[in-house]
Structure 1
Amino acid sequence: MSSRGDKRADLLRRVVDHLAEHGIADLSLAPTAEKLGTSKRMLLYYFGSRDALIAEAIAASRPDIADLFRDVGDTDELERAAWQLWEAITRGRQQRPIRILFQVLSLAPTQPERYAALAANAVTAMVEPLVPVFRELGFGEAEARSRASLLISGLRGLCQDRIVTGDEERIEGAAGTLIRAATAVENRKE
C-alpha cells in the first residue's frame, strides 16, 4: 500500500503534466480534479488551495539550480553547467513543465494580487542558488548577483522566445552568446 506522501507525489506529477499542457489562467479545481481522476476535495486535502497547488507545481517543475551548479569549481565547469540548464529547459525533462513558470510570469503584471509574489518567489528560487557559485569563482557580491540574474533570466527569456517563434537556430546562437558573456572572467568587476 502506498503512503500519503507517495499518493501526493504522484498527484503532483500529474498536476504538473496537466498544467504544462492546459495552462493555469483558467484553472479551476473541480474540472482539473475530474481530468486527473480525483476530486476537488483531494486536491484541497493535499495542496490546501488553488494558489498553493500552482506554487507547488512550479517548485516541482523548475530545474534544481543548486544541484546543476553544485560541483562548479571554475568558469569552464560553470559554462558546462549553464549548457546543461539550457538543455534541460529546451530539450530535457524541464522542457514542458517550464511552461507553467512562463504562465505565472506572464500573468503577474496583469493579476499581481494573485501571481506577483508567486512569480517573484519562482525567480528568486532560481537566481539565488547561483549567486554563491559566482562568488566562489571570485566575483564580488554585486557582480555575482548580476551574472546569476543574467544567466537565469536570460536563458528563461530565450527559452520562451524559442517556444513562441520556433526559431531554434537563432535562439541556440543567442543562448551561446549569453552563456559565454555570463560566465566569462574578462572584465570581472570586484
Structure 2
Amino acid sequence: MPRDTTRRAELAEAATDHVLVHGLIGLSLRPLAEALGTSDRMLLYHFAGKDDLVATVLRTASDRSVAEVRALAPSPGVRRAVLDLWRAATAEQLGRCQRLYVEAAALGLLGREPYASVVAEANERWVRALADHLVASGARRREARRAVALVDATFMGLQLDLPLDPTSPAIRRVVRDVAAAAAVVAGQGSA
C-alpha cells in the first residue's frame, strides 16, 4: 500500500519542531507520537522505523539551516560575512538547528547510524552554503572553502559553550577574531 507522502512530510515537519525543542537524547516514539497528535503505529506506517524518522528529522533541520544561510543577503566583505553568519547561527531558529546538529554529531562520532551518515551529508551542504555566502561577500571560491573550515570549526566549538553564556564578551571576542582570520585567509585582510 503506498504511503501518503503529504502526511509523511507534515509529520516530519512537526517531529522536527518537537525535536528542536526537546532534543534527540531520550527520544521515544510513543511520547513523540502523542505530542504530534498521532500514534506510534502511524509514525511507523509513515517511517520505516525510528532511525528513518530521526534521519528525516535531521535532514529537515539541515534543510532549514541551509535555507536560512542562503536567504542571507551578501555581506560587504568576508569579515562582516562571518559576523553575519554568527548572528544568524545563534538566532532562535537556526540556533536550535545548530544545537540539534551538535547533538547528532556527537552521537555520530560514536559511529551510530543514522547519525553518522546524515551528519556527514548535512555538514557538506552546510559548508557549501557558508562558502557560497563568503563568495557572494567577495571571497574567491578556493579561499572561501579554507576560510569556512576555520569558521565552521570555531562555530561548532562555540556551540558547546553557548548554553553557559551566549552573550559572553569572550565568545564575542572569539567570533571577531575568527572573522578577522577568515578575512586574511580569503585575501581580504592582513595578518
Q: Find the counterpart in structure 2 of residue 166 from structure 1.
A: 165
Q: Which amino acid aligns with 1:149?
A: A
Local SS of the residue matching 1:27: coil
The residue type paired with residue 76 of structure 2 is D
Unaligned ranges ≥5, structure 1? none
Check the 8 A contact 1:89/1:159 in 2, yes or no: no
What does residue range 122-161 of structure 1 map to in structure 2 within 5 Å?
122-132=122-132, 134=134, 137=138, 139=140, 141=142, 143-161=143-161
Q: Residue 49 and residue 179 in structure 1: after superposition, are their counterparts in 2 closer, same or farther (change >3 A)? A: farther
- Shift of the alpha carbon at 1:114? 4.0
TM superposition shift of 1:177: 1.5
1:41 alignment partner AA: R
Contact 2:78 / 2:183 at 8 angstroms: preserved in 1? yes
In structure 2, list runs of 5 or more residues that go unmatched. none
CA RMSD of aligned residues (A): 3.0
* Partners of 2:70 and 2:133 within 8 A in 1: no
* Partner deviation per Cα, 1:126-179 (whole Å, 9 max, x = no partner): 0023335556745363x332212222232232123112x225222122112112
Identity of aligned residues (%): 29
Q: What one-letter code is carried by the residue in structure 2 that aligns with 1:18?
A: H
Counterpart of 2:66, as a letter, is: D
What's 1:186 paired with? 189
Contact persistence 1:59–1:122 (CA under 8 A): yes
Match of 2:66 in 1: 64
Find the aligned partners of 1:105 and 1:82 in 2 and give their Cα distance. 22
Structure 1 residues 1-190: aligned runs within 5 Å: 7-62=7-62, 63-64=65-66, 67-68=70-71, 72=74, 76-132=76-132, 134=134, 137=138, 139=140, 141=142, 143-163=143-163, 165-166=164-165, 168-169=167-168, 170-184=170-184, 185-186=188-189
Distance in 2 between residues matched to 1:167 and 1:130, nearest whole Å: 21
Distance 1:183 1:60, change over 3 A: farther
- The aligned amino acid for 1:87 is R
- Given the two structures, how large is their TM-score scaled by the length of structure 1? 0.74
Q: Go from structure 1 to structure 2 and tell me whether the alpha carbon gap of 1:103 and 1:11 turns closer, same or farther (over 3 Å shift).
A: same
Tell me: higher relative CO, structure 1 or 2? Use CA pairs within 8 A at least 6 residues apart: 2
Aligned residues: 180
Seen in structure 2, the aligned counterparts of structure 1 residues 42 and 98 have a Cα distance that, compared at 3 Å, is farther
